[in-house]
Structure 1
C-alpha cells in the first residue's frame, strides 16, 4: 500500500511539473522576425529556433538565460538601429556589428572586432554569440 501511494504521488508530481515547464521554442523562419525586432537563429539561413533579442533597441545582456548561448548561426536586424553581438556575456570579448536592416544568413565569414574596437579580421562567429547590445 505504501509503495502504491508513493507511485501515485510521484506520478502526480511529474504531471504537475510537466504542466509548468515552458514549451521549447518552435522552428522559425525569416518571416517570423517582425518590424523593430532583432532575431537570432540557431541554424543557417534563418532556420531553426529563433530568439528575439531586441525590440526597438532594448539590449539583451546574457543569452545563457534563454538557452541561446553560443548557438547563433544567422541573424536578422529588422530594427532602425545597429546592434552588436558579443562573444562573451555582459558585452565582452570580440564582437560583430549588425547594421539596421541587415541580415546575415551565415555567420561563418563575418568582420570581427576585438573588445578594444580594433579590427580582428574576417573569421567565423558561428555559435559564438553570448550577449547583445
Structure 2
C-alpha cells in the first residue's frame, strides 16, 4: 500500500510544471469547465466563456463563476482565444502568460468582446480578479 501511494505521488509530481507551486498546479474540477461546441455562440448564465474565433464562433470553453485555470494548455486551449463573453456575474481577468503572468486584461461581467488583433490567440490563463 505504501509503495502504491509513493508511486502515485511521484506520478502526480511529474505532472506539475517545473517551478509551479501547489496553488498553481491545481486544475479545476471537470464540472467547473464546459466545452462549447462549434456553432454555439452563447455563453450560459454563471459562466465566463472563451471562443476560438471572432464573433463567438469556432467553439471553446466555459468556466463556472469562481473557476481559475493557471494554464489553458491543460485543456488544449493555450493561445487560442479570439473572443469572449462574461456571463459569470463577476469580473474576470485573462493573461498572456501561464499562471497569471504577463499582460492582464479585464473581462467585465455582462460584456461580449472580440479581442484586438494584437491580443488574438494570446490567452494562457484565466481567473477572477
TM range (shorter): 0.5 to 0.7
TM value normalised by structure 1: 0.65
TM value normalised by structure 2: 0.67
Distance (Å, rounded) in 1 between the aligned partners of 2:91 and 2:70? 15
Taking the TM superposition and a 5 Å limit, the aligned residue runs for 1:54-65 are 54-65=63-74
Where structure 2 has 5 or more consecutive residues not aligned to the other structure, the ranges are: 1-34
Does residue 1:108 correspond to 2:116, yes or no? yes
Deviation, 1:132, is 0.3
Partner of 1:132: 126
Number of residue-to-residue matches in the alignment: 93
Which structure 1 residue ranges, 4+ long, deviate > 2 Å from structure 2?
A: 28-31
Taking the TM superposition and a 5 Å limit, the aligned residue runs for 1:14-93 are 26-31=37-42, 33-52=43-62, 54-93=63-102
- Residues 48 and 91 of structure 1: CA distance in aligned 2, closer, same or farther (over 3 Å): same
Where structure 1 has 5 or more consecutive residues not aligned to the other structure, the ranges are: 1-23, 110-123
Structure of higher CA gyration radius: 1
